[in-house]
Chain A
């Protein structure tokens, strides 16, 4: 009985299937809002699902001379990471005082899996453009991870030094969301920009810049492998805003969370559509100098309880 429940929670709800379906729906919102901003009509609601099914029916080509195992491992890594992340996120929110062990350290590692998958897959494809894309992805990961970690540290400080996810949510339920303080707002800005970069959305879609390196790491992918990459990205579009809500906006175990989620996603889309793409060195400077300083100020403020 217990094992069936565990398998159900990883595969169906809230793990892989549920997250993927909602995530693909959110990519439709992204495409539709983007289209309206562009004075275009935009696709119908089932378009992401249709795209996904189409890709499943296509042949998966593996480039000659590439490492077959690593090439196929790349997409799977990110998918597995995001599925486990989804289960942890939902368990912690709906049962924060439960015995399920989940802390921020594990989540930081799980969030690192999709970029690592992209780097492995891109490097394994034996294509100059893919390797440029993989090296850009690596640089970008190091760029946004530092301020992201500093912002998470300030949240840990506010939660009384606990790295347990459940206790962060319980602390917010007791004292009100962390967002309603100066250091909370700073952490929210930093995590929001990191999410933009983790999703590879403009201005940080540098690793896959289609006009420069033609989708970078994804260039050799086709069929099921490409579909898995796309789906992982869609799941991230759902899970990362939820993560922001859980650590800063009081958790999502209530109906308001849907509005909060949509608000964050629309903000992400607006930032995406009102900026050009940065260069990789500019992005690195932006995250390490600008956002890094901001997150450090947030950390100091959180230390003094502001």
Chain B
């Protein structure tokens, strides 16, 4: 007998609204329907009403976790229009922040993954060591989140030489703890029993669904913008791409844990080799044209397309977030596993719905509904539902 087990729109598994319809026979998942679109905010439209410099602050607020990745890709896109590159020191600063953000995002996922398999001790311990990193962000950039380090033509703020030892000290602590977590999680027989051979996404499926980031690298598909199309300081430092061929949830966990090690390596080298000099190239005019920016966010490739007509605002700004590609691959990854596994598999791609959903209702180039209209429509629908279910 087929039944539907709903995960969402509000569910303790995931902290953002989304709807997965698990179609089950007993405990076995036979199919999955993905229904996203509960989180519209209209970023791409708002972006066209702001000036070039304001947009980087706007796109930062697309997502709270990868709040460095979106402005990073955006400024790379605008610099592509202007045909400039940031000064070397600014490039190193951006790289450092990008990698520190990767560590903090992977630790967030690791803690949540522990929570999802019912291992709350892992959750609390991992987040305990993520906490000093947020304090470090506050020290360097003035904010625990939404760092606003990226600016068209460079970096907004310098990393002071007297802060280097503090970063080094945190990296030492993190390296020890990361080794501890890697060993503790990969050696635990019960964790292995839960994660191994669960939610296998084969390399062929990974390519067919065009997944990116750790989801692809955990399936043996080596793709990483930092290696494929190096930008800023990524080709000036020595690091390895982490690829595991198994495709199960454990492989994705391994990719993220070992990537943290690589990130520590990158930040250390950047701090050592950081050149002196200005942190910004002055940009006065954005000429007409179009540009693209790609950045390897913690969840995969984030892609920004920006078009300019020479005015002080972008005429078109398109964002493609990595989770948008990764979530779709869940359809093949959960089929045939149990409900207990499905919860894990859905979370294994580290989905980020606020990145994925930013739509505004448009038709034939004219705004169909404004924010007020949408609100009114939603009230009307609530009233209708109330009336229908009142007996």
Contacts and interface: CB of A to CB of B under 8 A. Distances in A.
Interface of A: 34, 37-40, 128-129, 132, 135-136, 202-203, 205-206, 209-214, 273-282
B124 interface: yes
- Per CB-CB distance, the 6 closest pairs between chain A and chain B, nearest first, are A277-B118, A38-B124, A276-B119, A276-B117, A212-B343, A279-B340
Contacts of A213: 5, 339
Nearest to A277: B118
Contact of A211 (B4, B6, B118): B118
Given A202-B118, A214-B11, A276 B3 contact: no
Given A128-B4, A129-B5, A37 B121 contact: yes
Contact of B194 (A205, A214, A276): A276
B224 to A, nearest CB: 30
A128 B5 CA distance: 6
Contacts of A210: 12
A277 B120 contact: no
A295 B3 CA distance: 38
Interface string B182-207: 00000010110110000000000000
A278 B190 contact: yes
Contacts of A38: 120-121, 123-125
Contacts of B6: 128
Nearest to B116: A211
B368 to A, nearest CB: 36
Contact of A212 (B3, B13, B119, B123): B13
16 contacts: A38-B123, A38-B124, A39-B128, A136-B27, A202-B118, A203-B118, A210-B12, A273-B120, A273-B121, A276-B118, A276-B191, A277-B118, A278-B193, A279-B194, A279-B338, A280-B338
Given A203-B190, A212-B13, A279 B121 contact: no
A210 B89 CA distance: 48
Contacts of A211: 12-13, 115-118, 343
Interface string B113-145: 011111111111100100000000000000000
A206 B125 CA distance: 23
A210 B119 CA distance: 12
Given A276-B117, A276-B119, A40 B124 contact: yes
Contacts of A136: 27
A211 B345 CA distance: 12
Contact of B5 (A132, A205, A273, A275): A132
B4 A277 contact: no
Contacts of A280: 27, 338, 340
Contacts of B339: 132, 212-213
Contacts of A202: 118-119
A206 B339 CA distance: 11
Interface of B: 3-6, 11-13, 26-27, 114-125, 128, 188, 190-191, 193-194, 338-343
Contacts of A279: 194, 338, 340-341
Contacts of B27: 132, 135-136, 280
Given A203-B190, A279-B194, A280-B27, A209 B340 contact: yes
Nearest to B128: A39
A199 to B, nearest CB: 14
B161 to A, nearest CB: 33
A128 B114 contact: no
B114 A276 contact: yes
Majority-rule SS of B interface residues: helix
Given A129-B5, A282-B193, A209 B338 contact: no
Contacts of B124: 38-40
Contacts of A129: 5
A285 to B, nearest CB: 10
B5 A274 contact: no
Contacts of B122: 276
A202 B190 CA distance: 12
Contacts of A205: 118
A96 to B, nearest CB: 40
A34 to B, nearest CB: 8
A213 B122 CA distance: 21
Of A37, A135, A277, most B-chain CB atoms within 10 Å? A277
A212 B121 contact: no
A201 to B, nearest CB: 10
B338 A281 contact: yes
Given A128-B4, A128-B5, A203-B118, A276 B340 contact: no
A125 to B, nearest CB: 15
A129 B115 CA distance: 19
A170 B340 CA distance: 46
Contacts of A40: 124
B9 to A, nearest CB: 13
A107 B122 CA distance: 37
Of B5, B26, B115, most A-chain CB atoms within 10 Å? B5
B121 A277 contact: no
Nearest to B4: A128
A38 B26 CA distance: 35
Contacts of B341: 279
A205 B36 CA distance: 30
Contacts of A275: 119, 190
A213 B118 CA distance: 12
Nearest to A40: B124
Contacts of A34: 120
Given A129-B5, A212-B343, A278-B194, 19 more contacts: A38-B120, A40-B124, A132-B27, A132-B339, A135-B26, A202-B119, A203-B190, A205-B118, A210-B12, A273-B120, A274-B121, A275-B190, A276-B118, A276-B188, A277-B117, A277-B194, A278-B190, A278-B193, A279-B341
